[in-house]
Amino acid sequence: MFLPAGSKDEMGKALSNRFHVMEQFREITMMRGYKPISTPVIEYASTFTNEFIDMKLQDMMKWFNGEGEIEVLRPDWTTAIARALSSQEKIPQKWAYQGSIFKRNMPGVEYHQIGVEIIHHPELMGESECLLMAQAFLKEIGVGTCVIELGHTEIYESLVAELQLSKVEAERLRQAMHDKKKDEVYQIAAASSDKEKATELASLVDAFGSIEIIAEYEERWKDRENLLGILQHIKKLSEILLQSGSGEILVDLGRVKNLPYYSGLMFRGFLQSSGAICFSGGRYDRLYERFGESISAVGVALDVEVLAAQVKETDSLEKVCIIANEESIAFAENVRKSFQNCIVDVQSDSVNIDVYDQVYEIKKLNGKFEVIER
């Protein structure tokens, strides 16, 4: 029997590493005051394809239900949780989730995610909590600190708002910015404004690097109050992170949003060792606007597969083998209780005993069972 491309069975160490990541996450978020939340794996497509969310139907696992409506396998946690929370009370809330998301355009289709959503919290508090929780969690599972990159949707948005662009042109420009295609950014911008504006926008392509580059942009944007405010916000957040023992902090001031509901700070974490992205998230107040609410919302999602691959062998328990036979099963079960904090494996005598730290055999002597060390 065969498996579709990308689908995989999991067993042994790989699977226990993944469970370890998920168990530790549950523990850490619980201890930081998060409540667990889960949403169904099947939803209506329109929850994700409406104009506020604008995810592509073509990338979802989908079918028609009996009434002719399109249903999908959950393609995104944040949107599903916003739907679930839209009717909740407006008090500060911290939610933690774990489960699969499904994307047809990625090999294997199913991805394990863990993450948190924080709503009705003051901006800086919510954002720093996301990042501090992520850092504390990475430390706990032995991955160590990662490189954090900070960006902000409104830098690009406010510069581009000064251009008169059609919807098609605006999307082309956003894509060119996303691809850091400086020549095209310049050309599109120059076609609908002057050279100075186009140059300013094109130079945003190169506005990434260590946190120190912010000083250069404070000077460059000294007459733009809103941009200075954003830089100030990023600086404050990075100070909080550094004071809490975070590693290297990068910025990309030219980052653009990939989904329309992002509205403000965006961040992600790169693993020191492989450079892989282990978490990403940001602010998405606008997601809740579709429910007629103007609220503060921020979240972070962590990639379980990337993290599980980094988990080192944890201090393993001592392994004890008790060799029994059909007659002595019940006796062996009682003997098991005398070993605390050990892995106790009751086996028949055909087992390979080399993998155990201690081996005992149950023998019947004079009509009584006795435990004999081998």
Q: How far is the CB of 13 from another protein (least distance, A)?
A: 24
* Closer residue to another protein (CB): 154 or 252: 252
Q: What's the distance, CA 300 to chain centroid?
A: 6
Residues touching another protein: how many (CB under 8 A)?
A: 19
Whether residue 170 contacts residue 201, with contact meaning beta carbons closer than 8 Å, is answered with no
Cross-strand bridge partners of residue 301: 115, 280
Which residue bears the tokens 């100030």? 232
Q: What's the distance, CA 208 to chain centroid?
A: 22
Q: How far is the CB of 333 from another protein (least distance, A)?
A: 51
User: How many residues are there in the chain?
Assistant: 374
Restricted to residues 273-302, the positions that interact with another protein (CB under 8 A) are 275-277
* Closer residue to another protein (CB): 158 or 272: 272
Residue 60: exposure state from Cβ atoms within 10 A (0-12, 13-18, ≥19) = buried
From the list 252, 285, 303, 361, which residue makes contact with another protein (rule: CB under 8 A)?
252
Restricted to residues 167-206, the positions that interact with another protein (CB under 8 A) are 179-183, 186, 199, 202-203
Edge-to-edge strands, sheet with 358-365:
342-347, 318-323, 358-365, 368-373
Q: How far is the CB of 195 from another protein (least distance, A)?
A: 9
Which residue in 170, 164, 148, 364 sits closest to 270, CA to CA? 148
Q: How far is the CB of 7 from another protein (least distance, A)?
A: 20
Asked if 331 interacts with another protein (CB under 8 A), we say no
Q: Hey, is 217 helix, strand or coil?
A: helix
Q: How far is the CB of 67 from another protein (least distance, A)?
A: 32
From the list 28, 150, 227, 250, which residue makes contact with another protein (rule: CB under 8 A)?
250
* Closer residue to another protein (CB): 183 or 216: 183
Q: Which amino acid is at 291?
A: F
**Which residues contact another protein by CB under 8 A?**
147, 149, 179-183, 186, 199, 202-203, 208-209, 250, 252, 270, 275-277
